[in-house]
Structure 1
Amino acid sequence: MTISGSKTLLPRRRRARRTGLRGLVYIAPAMALVIAFFVIPVIFTGWMSLHNWPLMGGTRWIGFRNYVRMFHDARFMSALQFTAYYTVIVTIAIFAVAFPLAIFVEKQRRFVSAYRTIIFLPVVVGLATASLLWVWLANVDSGFIGPALRALGWVDKSPNLLASFDSAFLTIIVMVVWKIAGFTMIILLTGLQAIPAELTEAARIDGAGRWQRFRHLTLPLMRKTIALALIISVTGSILAFDQFYIMTSGGPQNRMISVVYYIFNQSFVSFNLGYGAALSIALLAILVAISIIQLWLLRVREGKP
């Protein structure tokens, strides 16, 4: 390399260094927030999980006993099974509603903006507020669902929808789909709009029907969008708490206690803060593992190593 060439590289390296430092300055506030509100709390929670940590009194180091206790806790395993069951059912239900809605509002038609707004409106309602609203709707005496079912001739008298497991579970599923489907629809809509119209038109000219275009063109091109919506839906379902706490209080017969609900009971009802911290760390590990598996499957299907 000549002397003139080395002199030319120096300004470039300085500019690259300045650009890197400028980028660090820009992301520093976000990094500070992540460290303050995620990294430090996770580290402290991990430290708590290694102690017998009552609400009152001193703490005592017990090592991994809380984690050993977790594997022998039948109620925690029951909450884990219920959460997995709920996650599968509600995720399928959300996609079954959101995908047709996304296809419906993707096409340009009259009042399509109004349709999108109406479908998305429940998303802006807080989950706790939505749960309270559906508790009122399902009320035997003053609710709306009971009279509607009687008017349709499906029941003879207004049922107590939150009294049995099957009806309460179905009510919660319907509420969550009503609340979340609009958000998933928007994510899927962005994926649909990113598909080049030329490809769809070419497939139509080649004689591909709607189902063939959807299966062989739309789904493959929306793989990343679907993966993103799936990760968000699965993560949110595993962390479900508000609807079970507000609508059923874990009942009937404590059959609707999710993992987060159980962690809440152990930490703030029974005041086993150390054990609750261990359960929280275990839940975090489950979420990370599920996200990694989903991303890995996405890469494999794309043909990447």
Structure 2
Amino acid sequence: MSVTSLPTAAVAASRPKGRRRRRRDLVGLLYVLPAMALVLVFFIVPIGMTAWMSLHNWPLLGLPRFIGLRNYERLWSDAGFWASLRFTLVYTGVATVAIFAVAFPLALLVEKPRPLASLLRTAFFLPVVVGFATAALLWVWLLNTDSGLFSPALQALGITPQRINILGTFDTAFAAIVAMVVWKVAGFTMILLMTGLQGIPADIVEAARIDHAGPLQRFRFITLPLMRRTLGLALILCITGSMLAFDQFYIMVAGGPGNQTLTAVYWIFNQSFVSFRLGYGAALSIVLLAILLVLSLGQLWLLRDREDAR
């Protein structure tokens, strides 16, 4: 066999491998095509259509008229939108802290196999399967002054001298809505955090215990750093869901009392489907999407691993 024939033989031998690689890539592409089609149809195309609508004066009836960036210029002087955005940010901060304050202890409680752990996991997770609208209607009944549970209980315990309308004032209505959201969402966050806790290697925890590290030290220097990715995912989901809050405020208080609980999505809903300013509502939606994108990227940057930052 001559030396000059070696490259030719190598090329011939590599051809079947190249064909197998291309076939494998094609099969992988076929597997992801349905997901790509769903993302394109239900995410990319709607965002593009919303961005196009935001550049028009788009009435409910009649032909749209192109106006460029006037909708975006208008929102800078829209006091109602900025008030709703401020309230949404306050609600997001309070709800996120409350959810994590409940979900983390629950995750620590049910993380390890112990008696009734499976039953407790199921009980804590059950509210998650209830829709937000259904949960809001349930709590409207529980908070009813006459036929509900909470108002008579407060009177019976001597906390209030008489039955009160919990949803009638801002402070009590806000607290009731946050309590409902925590009851509804904490179980899902608990499952995420429990998964992160179970992913911590037992030998690392045992080594820290042998080195006489206390529970708080193990939690600070082992649990939290090793759960960084899980915490980041749970935090992003929690903040995004809170920023998009609508159902509970619409059903339980209808933006009241005194329009003090209008969230950003609620304001967009009013502009789009009550005032029939669809183009302006689309512009507000694009701005809210940009805010959510900035918040999510900021969280990912703050919670990044040190190795990834290098």
> For the superposition of Structure 1 and Structure 2, which TM-score range results when normalised by the shorter chain?
over 0.9
The residue that corresponds to 2:248 in the other structure is 243
CA distances 1:172-209 after superposition (whole Å, capped 9, x unpaired): 00000000000000000000000111111111111011
Q: C-alpha distance in 1, partners of 2:27/2:308?
A: 36
Runs of 4+ in 1 over 3 A off after TM superposition: 300-303
Per the normalisation by structure 2, the TM-score is 0.96
Match of 1:81 in 2: 86
Q: Distance in 1 between matches of 2:77 and 2:296?
A: 26
Q: Which residue of 2 aligns with 1:111?
A: 116
CA shift for structure 1 position 4:
2.2
State the Cα deviation string for residues 2-49 of structure 1 (Å, max 9, x = none). 222222222222111111111111111111111111111111111100
Out of 169, 173, 177, the position equivalent to 1:164 is: 169
Alignment partner for residue 91 of structure 1, among 80, 89, 96?
96
Q: CA deviation at 1:288?
A: 1.3
The number of residue pairs the alignment matches comes to: 305
Q: Structure 1's 300 and 70: CA in aligned 2 closer, same or farther, altered over 3 A?
A: farther
TM-score by length of 1: 0.98
- 199, 205, 208: which is aligned to 1:203? 208
| Paired position in structure 2 for 1:51 | 56
After the TM superposition, which residues 3-22 of structure 1 pair with which residues of structure 2 at under 5 Å, given as runs?
3-22=8-27
Sequence identity of aligned pairs in percent? Answer: 61
Matched, 1:124 2:129: yes
For each residue in 1:126-157, what CA deviation from the matched residue of structure 2 results, as whole angstroms up to 9, or x when unmatched?
00000011111111101100122123221121
Aligned match of 1:234:
239
Counterpart of 2:186 in structure 1: which amino acid?
A
Is 1:221 the counterpart of 2:248? The answer is: no
- Tell me, in whole angstroms, the C-alpha distance in 1 between the residues paired with 2:78 and 2:295: 22
Secondary structure of the 1:141 match is coil
SS at match of 1:158: coil
Which amino acid in the other structure matches residue 198 of structure 2?
Answer: Q
Mapped partners of 1:276, 1:79: distance in 2: 14
DSSP 3-state at the match of 1:170: helix
Q: Which runs of 5+ in 2 are unaligned?
A: 1-5
Helix, strand or coil for the counterpart of 1:172?
helix
Question: Hey, what does 1:153 align to over in structure 2?
Answer: 158
1:137 aligns with 2:142: yes
- Asked if the contact 2:228–2:304 (Cα under 8 Å) also holds between the matched residues in 1, the reply is no
Please tell me whether residue 284 in structure 1 is matched to residue 310 in structure 2: no
User: For each residue in 1:224-282, what CA deviation from the matched residue of structure 2 results, as whole angstroms up to 9, or x when unmatched?
Assistant: 00000000000000000000000010011101000100010000000000000001111
Matched, 1:295 2:279: no
Q: Secondary structure at the match of 2:75?
A: helix
Closer/same/farther in 2, CA of residues 181 and 11 from structure 1, 3 Å limit: same
User: Which amino acid is 1:47 matched to?
Assistant: W
Structure 1 residue 301: Cα displacement: 4.2
Query: Which sits farther off after the overlay, 36-45 or 8-17?
Result: 8-17
Shift of 1:158: 1.4
Q: Contact 2:228/2:305 (CA < 8 Å) preserved in 1? A: no
Unaligned runs of 5+ in 1: none
Q: Which moved more, 1:148-157 or 1:241-250?
A: 148-157
Amino acid at match of 1:236: G
